[in-house]
Structure 1
Amino acid sequence: MKKITIFITIFIAITIKTNAQIPNNGFEDWTNMGSYYNPDLWSCLNDTTALASTFTCEKGTPGNPGNYYLKLTSKTVAGFGVVPGVAVSGIINPATMEPESGFAYSLRSANLTGKWQHMIFGTSQGFIDVQLTRWDVPTLTRVVVASKHYNLTGMSMSWNTFTIPLTYVDGNYPDSCIITLSASGSSPTNDDYLWVDNLSFSGSVPVGISEMNISNITSIYPNPASDVVTLEINNASYEDMELTIYTTTGVLVKSELLKYNQQQINVADLSNGIYTVTLQSKNWKENQQLIIQR
């Protein structure tokens, strides 16, 4: 019995540790693709731009700490224009440059922390986007537990520590996480850069705690969706209610004023990927995650 108890304790500890780590968080592990390197367990656009021998995601050295860091640089690529330096902790859609999936993560962390350097040469600031989600069995939809889209400000030309607080909108544990790092916003400029190292989560938010006003909770289904989504809004007033949909890079792709009791939105024109749906009236504002998958 003692051996079994010890085994279970060790197994639980290993499981918690496994689900508490950001894959390759220090960017020490890279795969040699021949003429370039890709960061292990992260996706970038190098495979797409390789034919032009131009790479927006590179292995920088020395790290802070360690040997290497992630070096993202927006670059002019023949046939593509300026391609943003972007990396996703999972799978990225090279056509839309949007994340499609992330990694297993089951803790209610309070902050994303790390080291960075960044600078832009135009007007479109880069960003860091974090999404903690869970699969909701009763509704068969993916629900946002916490998120943060953090637009960079100013410049940081030496290594500095950053802390990005997450905003919780659901009181349950997540099961997945997607982190998107981008050197530029929606209008990238050649040579915009974002260097990142030593990513980790810190702090914790108790189960049951969220910052959303429960009277305004909105359900969006099906999610993932393909052509049409249905809205269920627990809010009596539809007066001047606006719906906007943004990509994770901050590009506005849909905007409309909702009619009274309108429940369905056509999303057939949206490409596969992850989007942020914002509903706003005079008295409240709410964000939801929407996944388009066909």
Structure 2
Amino acid sequence: MKTKTLSILALMLVLSYSTAFAQIPNNGFEEWITVGNCQKPVGWYGTNDFTDTLANYFGVTRSTDHNPASVGNYSVRIQNNLDQLPDWPAFGILWSGGASGSDYPAFAIPLNSSSFCGYYKFLPENNDTMRIALFAYNHGEEVFQVMLESSEPAPEWTPFCLIFPDMIIDSGRIMLSSFYPEGELTIHGNSVLYADNLSFDNLITSTPVTVNEFTAVDIFPNPVADKLMISLPDNQSGQITLDVFNMTGKQVLSRQVKASSAPPAIDVSSLAAGNYFLRITTNTRAVFIKDFIITR
């Protein structure tokens, strides 16, 4: 029974890491549906939903200009169009969820998330201001907002990471716009905003890899009193993240160390005696889980 419990908890820790990058629906804008002449990103709603599907112009389009180059094939391109004024197709806007997704949570946010990250490009005209925003909720009530607003050109892919205040949240929604969506809606030019690979806590730099061959690494001594050593495969380099969880799945310790140190280690002397899990995340986002015992 104990072995079964350990295996379930280990699996949960692996999944909790993987879903942190996939929790935002269609976060890399890889999934699209075609309706008439129109393409729409799955899980998102915006300008195209206010446009005749047989029209010749759509403010939200799929772009092959994406980032990082090794992740996926597409990004989303959001554009204003002065020629479409005063109608909705003039305004480049996109939000997560459905038709009413501009005022209620659209997806779950992983526990302990501390930031909203991603990549964007912005090509402004006539001083338009773009916005990338996340609205966070707890039990259906909006708790806070984090936003990136800029009128400055960003012609190359630019990373962003918006830090959350220290508040309990469980869900959220995202809004992307190539204009300033407050007060009387106004666009000044045919400005363009690109966005790609939205995530929580870490910028996506490569395709996620989950390793469930727990024997690929070793930890020693086990049981341990103070310093736990980690033996990694020879091909690991750069920074690795070491997260310790107790038997309820609560994270109780986290450290970043260099994989090249001989060997990498984490000091667990501050923790009480008992059974724990160590989650090892490499810079290639491979994940290893090992259980260990602390004795006193």
Name 2:38's counterpart in structure 1: 36
**Cα distance per residue 1:143-199 (max 9 Å; x no partner):** 41x42132113111121222222334x3x2x21111111111131234111001121
Name 1:291's counterpart in structure 2: none
- How far 1:23 sits from its partner (Å)? 1.6
Residue 178 of structure 1 pairs with residue 173 of structure 2: yes
Q: Is the 8 A contact 1:92 1:101 kept in 2?
A: no
Name 1:147's counterpart in structure 2: 145
SS in 2 for 1:6: helix
**Cα distance per residue 1:9-31 (max 9 Å; x no partner):** 42464356446622211111111
Structure 2: which amino acid aligns with 1:162? F
Q: Is the 8 A contact 2:137 2:170 kept in 1?
A: yes
Query: Relative to 1, partners in 2 of residues 1:62 and 1:124: Cα closer, same or farther, differing over 3 Å?
Result: closer
Name 1:121's counterpart in structure 2: 125
Residue among 130, 137, 143 paired with 1:133: 137
Structure 2 stretches lacking a partner, 5+ long: 203-250, 252-296
Identity %: 26
**Cα distance per residue 1:194-237 (max 9 Å; x no partner):** 0011211216xxx9xxxxxxxxxxxxxxxxxxxxxxxxxxxxxx
Name 1:195's counterpart in structure 2: 194
Name 1:55's counterpart in structure 2: 58
Q: Is the 8 A contact 2:127 2:151 kept in 1?
A: no
Q: Count matched residues.
A: 193
Residue 67 of structure 1 pairs with residue 68 of structure 2: no
Separation in 2, partners of 1:33, 1:143: 33
Separation in 1, partners of 2:77, 2:13: 35
Separation in 1, partners of 2:165, 2:149: 15
**Cα distance per residue 1:97-134 (max 9 Å; x no partner):** 94444111133333222221102213330111111211
Query: Relative to 1, partners in 2 of residues 1:109 and 1:24: Cα closer, same or farther, differing over 3 Å?
Result: same
Separation in 1, partners of 2:161, 2:16: 26
TM-score, normalised to structure 1's length? 0.57
Separation in 2, partners of 1:147, 1:191: 27
User: Which is higher, the Rg of structure 1 or of structure 2?
Assistant: 2
Q: Is the 8 A contact 2:64 2:75 kept in 1?
A: yes
Name 1:45's counterpart in structure 2: 47
SS in 2 for 1:122: coil
Q: Is the 8 A contact 1:74 1:190 kept in 2?
A: yes
Q: Is the 8 A contact 1:46 1:54 kept in 2?
A: no
Q: Is the 8 A contact 1:58 1:70 kept in 2?
A: yes
Q: Is the 8 A contact 1:24 1:41 kept in 2?
A: yes
- How far 1:88 sits from its partner (Å)? 1.0
Separation in 1, partners of 2:26, 2:142: 25
SS in 1 for 2:173: strand
SS in 2 for 1:14: helix
Q: Is the 8 A contact 1:105 1:175 kept in 2?
A: yes
Q: Is the 8 A contact 1:42 1:91 kept in 2?
A: yes
Structure 2: which amino acid aligns with 1:111? S
Separation in 1, partners of 2:17, 2:119: 24
Residue among 77, 84, 88 paired with 2:84: 77
SS in 2 for 1:23: coil
Matching of residues 208-219 of structure 1 within 5 Å: none
Q: Is the 8 A contact 1:82 1:189 kept in 2?
A: no
Structure 2: which amino acid aligns with 1:7? I
SS in 2 for 1:91: coil
